[in-house]
């Protein structure tokens, strides 16, 4: 299976704290993307990092990618209750047409 | 318009019923996807259409039949489903063959098969 593994499976923090989620994957990739899913809803794209990039920022999000270790991390700084959601990494791979394979996900709970 | 819409939001059907899920986007995207997501699991790719042609079928049972009538519309026809097919069905679209395409997701249809 191409599926990535994420850890932790669940994370519970207080507002204002930082949240870090990790993703490991198995094969060579074109890029790695992070998505957020609020309970039982559609996914929202957060950030994409290319295979030749090491770090990327977007607002309160910081993503790192280590292709030698086949791993990525997502850091959310100064978390808010509204950040409560499931977070999935998704690896993009394939030639000619990109397929996305989603990781197992991290459920984040941010308490006020 | 940066939205992918899906109808219905909820669907309950018996194992002998025939129903259809609908997905629509008006972003000019040329690739559209169907995913299936079971509770507390990640989405799993079912089908990909690119330029209105079926590009990828992830060995999905024939009781699921996709259709892409035009570049904005994607249907998933359901027939003789099993209770284990109960899940959230997500539609997505992306710009096209680009290796760095972001996918835009609809809110999903929650399907219950009795």
Please give the DSSP secondary-structure letter assigned to residue B83: G
| C-alpha–C-alpha distance, residues B6 and B22, integer Å | 6
Output the pLDDT for position A42: 87
Looking only at Cα atoms, what is the longest distance across chain A?
46
Span A69-96, average pLDDT: 91
Pick the residue from chain A with its C-alpha nearest to B107: A42
Output the pLDDT for position B77: 98
Tell me which long-range contacts B26-30 makes (C-beta under 8 A, separation of at least 24). B26/B1, B26/B72, B27/B1, B27/B2, B27/B93, B27/B104, B28/B71, B29/B71, B29/B93, B29/B94, B29/B95, B29/B96, B29/B104, B30/B71, B30/B95, B30/B96, B30/B97
Q: Are A19 and A13 in contact (CB under 8 A)?
A: yes
To the nearest whole Å, the CA of B66 is away from the closest chain A CA by 18
| C-alpha–C-alpha distance, residues B98 and A70, integer Å | 22
Interface contact flag, A30 B45, Cβ < 8 Å: no
| C-alpha–C-alpha distance, residues A52 and A29, integer Å | 10
Between residues 58 and 87 of chain B, which touch chain A (CB distance below 8 Å)?
A: none
pLDDT: is A42 or A81 the higher one?
A81
Output the pLDDT for position A1: 54
Q: Tell me whether strands B109-113 and B10-13 are parallel, antiparallel or unpaired.
A: parallel
Q: Any chain B CB within 8 A of the CB of A31?
A: yes
Output the pLDDT for position A41: 85
What residues in A contact B98, CB-CB < 8 Å? 98
Output the pLDDT for position A95: 61
Residue A29 has pLDDT above 70, yes or no: yes
What digits encode the pLDDT tens for the residues B47-81?
A: 999 889 998 899 999 999 999 999 899 999 999 99
Output the pLDDT for position A99: 78
Interface contact flag, A97 B43, Cβ < 8 Å: no
| End-to-end Cα distance, chain A | 38
What residues in B contact A103, CB-CB < 8 Å? 42
Mean pLDDT of chain A, nearest integer: 91
Span B87-112, average pLDDT: 88
Pick the residue from chain B with its C-alpha nearest to A32: B100
Number of residues assigned to chain B: 114
Q: Any chain B CB within 8 A of the CB of A52?
A: no
Span A8-33, average pLDDT: 93
Q: Are B76 and B65 in contact (CB under 8 A)?
A: yes
Mean pLDDT of chain B, nearest integer: 92
pLDDT: is A65 or A26 the higher one?
A65
Please give the DSSP secondary-structure letter assigned to residue A110: E
| C-alpha–C-alpha distance, residues A5 and A71, integer Å | 9
What residues in B contact A102, CB-CB < 8 Å? 42-44
| C-alpha–C-alpha distance, residues A51 and A69, integer Å | 12
Q: Which of A11-15, B2-6, B100-104 has the lowest mean pLDDT?
A: B100-104
What digits encode the pLDDT tens for the residues B2-54?
A: 699 999 999 999 999 999 999 999 999 989 999 999 998 999 999 999 889 99
């Amino acid at each position: 299976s191409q599926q990535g593994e994420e850890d932790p499976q669940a994370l519970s923090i207080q507002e204002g704290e930082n949240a870090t989620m990790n993703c490991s994957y198995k094969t060579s990739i074109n890029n790695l993307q992070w998505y957020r899913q609020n309970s039982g809803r559609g996914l929202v794209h957060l950030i994409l990092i290319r295979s030749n990039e090491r770090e990327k920022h977007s607002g309160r999000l910081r993503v790192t990618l280590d292709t030698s270790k086949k791993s990525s991390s997502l850091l959310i700084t100064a978390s808010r209750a509204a950040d409560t959601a499931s977070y999935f990494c998704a690896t993009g791979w394939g030639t000619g047409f990109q397929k996305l394979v989603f990781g197992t996900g991290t459920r984040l709970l941010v308490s006020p | 318009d940066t939205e992918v819409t899906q109808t219905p939001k909820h669907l309950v059907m018996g194992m002998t019923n025939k129903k259809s899920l609908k997905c629509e986007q008006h972003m000019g995207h040329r690739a559209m996807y169907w995913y299936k997501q079971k509770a507390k699991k990640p989405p799993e790719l079912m089908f990909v259409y690119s330029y209105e042609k079926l590009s990828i079928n992830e060995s999905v049972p024939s009781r699921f039949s996709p259709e892409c009538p035009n570049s904005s519309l994607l249907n998933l026809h359901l027939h003789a489903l099993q209770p284990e097919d109960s899940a959230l069905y997500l539609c997505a679209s992306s710009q096209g063959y680009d290796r760095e395409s972001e996918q835009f997701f609809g809110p999903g249809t929650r399907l219950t098969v009795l």
